[in-house]
Amino acid sequence: MSKRTGTKVQKNRTDDEFIMLPTVDFCFKELMRNEKVRKGIIAALLGVRPEEIKETRLLPTILRKEYEDDKYGILDVRVEMHD
């Protein structure tokens, strides 16, 4: 286990054995770039069939600051729903 991150570290692995989990930010963002995968994940989260989702689009994930002393917000996924 890594002391710095608290995650398990696999020793003596080859690159062929490496599987990046979707819990890793980079992996999750790459998965979201695929429209079919994105639609499937969103459908699963909403409890609907993927066919019920008309469209998915990638939106900017960095939220702008409203006030000078605000911090930037960065989202992994941003979903816009119909009313």
Determine the Cα–Cα distance for residues 45 and 42; give it in Å rounded to an integer: 5
Say whether pTM exceeds 0.75: no
Question: What is the band of 80 on the pLDDT scale with cuts at 50, 70, 90?
Answer: low
Q: Which residues contact 12 (CB under 8 A, 6 or more apart)?
A: none
Distances (CA, A) of 11 to 6, 14, 16, 19, 43: 15, 9, 14, 14, 36
10-64: pLDDT as tens digits = 555 566 676 767 677 778 888 888 889 988 988 898 898 888 888 888 877 788 8
Determine the Cα–Cα distance for residues 45 and 15; give it in Å rounded to an integer: 32
Domain range list for the chain: 21-74
Could you tell me if 33 and 41 are in contact, meaning their C-beta atoms sit under 8 angstroms apart? no
pLDDT exceeds 70 at position 1: no
